[in-house]
Structure 1
Amino acid sequence: MTQAGGTPSGPQETPATTGRRFHFAQLLTIPVLVGALVGALVTALIVLLVDRGSTDQSAAADPADPGTAMCAAAPIADRVLPSVVTISARRGAQAGTGSGQIIKQGGYILTNDHVISVAANGGSVSVQYSDGRSSDARIIGRDPSTDLAVLQAADEAKNYPVIALGSSAALRVGQPVVALGAPLGLSSTVTSGIVSALDRYVPVPGDGVTHHLVGAVQTDASINPGNSGGALVDCSGQLVGVNAAIATVPNAAGVGGGGSVGLGFAIPIDLAKPIAEQLINTGKPGHPTTGLQVQEIPASVTQALGTSAGLFVVSVDAGGPAAKAGLKAGDIITEIDGDPAVSSEQIVVATLTRQAGDTLEIKYTRSGTPGTATLTLAAA
């Protein structure tokens, strides 16, 4: 998986990702196109692409009918691009660019965490608007787990519109969409495509953290390094997703390419909106906790010892949700909300998609004896 901008990194090979690599859609700034960045030599190759758009307006989508062939991209660009910004982040010799959109009056801008993470500790961030004007910005809050972050422009983005927010729950497979952002640093770029699939789970390794794209919207709209954090909108120009990652096909040496192959992933706005609001209000994402640490049990171990497959409970926080539910260190979790427990990421995803007070139904074994527990998530 490649973060739609960033140095390619190998994914965790799961049945859903084997044979593909995912990359962040953020472009690392490369002085004179070739330069040393974090000890690595990076070369950017820019090629011209032919615009195959048709001038036949009969093929344009009716905003009221999401099932029509394509969006009329020109009016969408006119309406949405003033809300979209190009983001530059820097700390020392490290720098990168990405995209974002104004989501609230006062200059609040939603983007990906990996776009601005380089500037999180003593670095600087700036934004450039579609008319070429720019402003310094500050980081309001970060949520590395979901790869979301909120900035605030120093000039409060005065005279620039707030993007209209849609609903990702209303999306349909095959529905036309438009992506806007700054691929390879080329600001105000617009591409179109369709919703290829819904409800994807895409784990993307980052710098010391795994970003979890939960319920991601898959699209074939061209997304490239630099698109990260940018807008995925419907035919009404409403924000339905935040572009975050692309899949690339590895070459013979196992190295993934950096360009779009028609497999892009966006964080659904229905997940991003409440997290953004929380970041604006408190500076923190506020995800709940389960109060337990688990470890996947390798199949070889279960076969050798004759134990149940599942997640081994390494530790339980005293007085935490898991302890109150009756779970103990040494238990083996076999099911989570009716699904087989096969990955520790299931616990992480459960906390990212729920609120404090929500419950998880846990099935487990203790010394070979099965049990069931209702775990109530608590504020972290």
Structure 2
Amino acid sequence: MDGSRNPSRACRRLLLPLTAGACAVALLGPSGCSAPHPAPDSPVSTADAGAPVAPGAREDLQNDYQEVIREVLPSVVQIEAPGGLGSGVVYDDKGHVVTNAHVVGRERDFKVTAATGGTTLGARLVAAYPEQDLAVIKLDRLPDGLRAARFADSSRVEVGQIVLAMGSPLGLSSSVTQGIVSAVGRTVSEPRSGGGTGATLANMVQTSAAINPGNSGGALVGLDSGVVGIPTLAATDPALGGSAAPGIGFAIPSSMVRTVADQIIKDGRVTDSGRAALEITARTVVDSAFEPAGVAVVSAEPDGAAAQAGLKAGDVITAVGSTTITTVTSLAEALAPHKPGDRVRVSYLRDGEKRTADVTLGEI
């Protein structure tokens, strides 16, 4: 499906172009870097922001940070493809590495370097799943010192939880930033331009940890050394001409990462996405003022969810439940919280007449 990007959900992918490394740093300097985060030994208090923290407590927190870095960084790699630089996380002891689909693009062969250094390794694509912006590549070999990460249960992630982002932002390998989980359950949409997949991603983890181009596919980690997500998007502010909004980044939750990666490793593809769909091809339509006004059904899959509910080519979808639909992106975002088999009411226009249909959702 193609459509417009919702300005309120504006995001950008985090792949660093190989051909513009120095320019990327210069261009991103004013807009892509958030304000400095507190150092690990800065005073922090959950009881009284004005009260100093005992030196022992500061040292304990600093030791926690350093232990997580020692534990997880050997599981993080830098991925080099002809189109740019990204990051990845070692998934198992067989050399599988999970990353973003927009990092691998259309390439099949890659150069991989461990965050902790060492010789450059070769890797080959196993499969990509752009609909969830995830991919798995496999190293030619798993060298000593490089080990599989532990993926935590992302359903237990809580707002306020301290997290570290590890990867290769702006090509600076083995970089670590810190922040908190700012929100959970976000739905965001990627741009299609610049190599983005255009995917709408549900249940994303929002974080204040600084993430920049090159962080894509890396690790967002809790203080228990468990990977809770894969950093994928940074928010942009349309009011600032699309400049980065500091301290607002998004990571694909580890539960979805495991679901997709396990299927790719086992079957070479995703066989059960768990994502709901109307099973249509659609496009955004505009009104007389050239404003987005709905989603036209270009075609409906025979025996698909929409077709079984009576929708057909030419119908214009205007709402799903109580959510107004103006673009293909807003339709994808309205469907994102649902599962295949859920029943939703779809409002649409047919020859200018308002109609509704109860649709049992299919699967992407």
User: Could you state the TM-score of these two structures normalised by the residue count of structure 1?
Assistant: 0.76
User: Where in structure 2 are the equivalents of 1:192-207 lying within 5 Å?
Assistant: 192-205=178-191, 206=193, 207=195
| Counterpart for residue 224 of structure 1 | 212
Q: Deviations over 1:128-172 (max 9, x none)?
A: 123322310011111222221111111045653221111222222
Asked if 1:28 corresponds to 2:21, the answer is: no
User: Where in structure 2 are the equivalents of 1:32-181 lying within 5 Å?
Assistant: 34=22, 42=23, 44-45=25-26, 52-54=39-41, 56-59=55-58, 72-90=64-82, 95-117=83-105, 119-120=107-108, 124-133=109-118, 134-156=120-142, 160-181=146-167
Q: 2: CA distance between counterparts of 1:302 and 1:25?
A: 31
The structure where helix makes up a greater share of residues is 2
User: Per-residue deviation at 1:371?
Assistant: 3.0
Change (3 A) 1:61 1:239: farther
User: Per-residue deviation at 1:74?
Assistant: 0.5
Contact 1:234 1:240 in 2 (8 A): yes
Of residues 262-271 and 286-295 in structure 1, the stretch that sits farther from structure 2 once superposed is 286-295
User: Per-residue deviation at 1:110?
Assistant: 0.8
Q: 1: CA distance between counterparts of 2:330 and 2:268?
A: 25
Q: Structure 1: which 5+ residue stretches go unaligned? A: 1-10, 35-41, 63-69, 304-308
| Counterpart for residue 170 of structure 2 | 184
Of residues 111-120 and 369-378 in structure 1, the stretch that sits farther from structure 2 once superposed is 369-378
Contact 1:71 1:176 in 2 (8 A): no
| Counterpart for residue 236 of structure 1 | 224
Q: What SS does the aligned partner of 2:283 have? A: strand
Q: Deviations over 1:317-342 (max 9, x none)?
A: 23333222222223333432543333
| Counterpart for residue 45 of structure 2 | none
Q: What SS does the aligned partner of 1:27 have? A: coil
Change (3 A) 1:51 1:321: closer
Q: What SS does the aligned partner of 2:105 have? A: helix
Which amino acid in 1 is paired with 2:297? Answer: V
Q: Deviations over 1:285-333 (max 9, x none)?
A: 3447533223334354799xxxxx6433232223333222222223333
Of 261, 282, 296, the match for 1:276: 261
Q: What SS does the aligned partner of 1:233 have? A: strand
User: Per-residue deviation at 1:357?
Assistant: 4.8
Which amino acid in 1 is paired with 2:211? Answer: I
Q: Deviations over 1:44-64 (max 9, x none)?
A: 3498979733174514788xx
Q: 2: CA distance between counterparts of 1:261 and 1:53?
A: 20
Q: 1: CA distance between counterparts of 2:358 and 2:242?
A: 44
Q: 1: CA distance between counterparts of 2:354 and 2:18?
A: 56
| Counterpart for residue 299 of structure 2 | 315
Q: What SS does the aligned partner of 2:68 have? A: helix
Change (3 A) 1:339 1:84: same
| Counterpart for residue 200 of structure 2 | 212
Q: 1: CA distance between counterparts of 2:158 and 2:37?
A: 28
User: Per-residue deviation at 1:105?
Assistant: 2.5
Of residues 163-172 and 234-243 in structure 1, the stretch that sits farther from structure 2 once superposed is 163-172
User: Per-residue deviation at 1:244?
Assistant: 1.0
Q: Deviations over 1:243-283 (max 9, x none)?
A: 0122355797x4636xx821211111222221122222233
Which amino acid in 2 is paired with 1:26? Answer: L
Of 280, 284, 289, the match for 1:292: 280
Which amino acid in 2 is paired with 1:318? Answer: P
Which amino acid in 1 is paired with 2:362? Answer: L
C-alpha RMSD of the superposition: 3.4
Change (3 A) 1:352 1:43: closer
User: Per-residue deviation at 1:107?
Assistant: 0.8
Q: 2: CA distance between counterparts of 1:196 and 1:187?
A: 25
Contact 2:297 2:314 in 1 (8 A): yes
User: Could you state the TM-score of these two structures normalised by the residue count of structure 2?
Assistant: 0.78
Q: 2: CA distance between counterparts of 1:29 and 1:127?
A: 14
Identity between Structure 1 and Structure 2 (%)? 32
Contact 1:179 1:230 in 2 (8 A): yes
| Counterpart for residue 5 of structure 1 | none
Q: What SS does the aligned partner of 1:74 have? A: helix
Q: Structure 2: which 5+ residue stretches go unaligned? A: 43-54
Which amino acid in 1 is paired with 2:7? Answer: T
Between Structure 1 and Structure 2, how many residues are aligned? 335
Q: What SS does the aligned partner of 1:273 have? A: helix
User: Per-residue deviation at 1:175?
Assistant: 1.5
Contact 2:149 2:226 in 1 (8 A): yes
Contact 2:187 2:336 in 1 (8 A): no
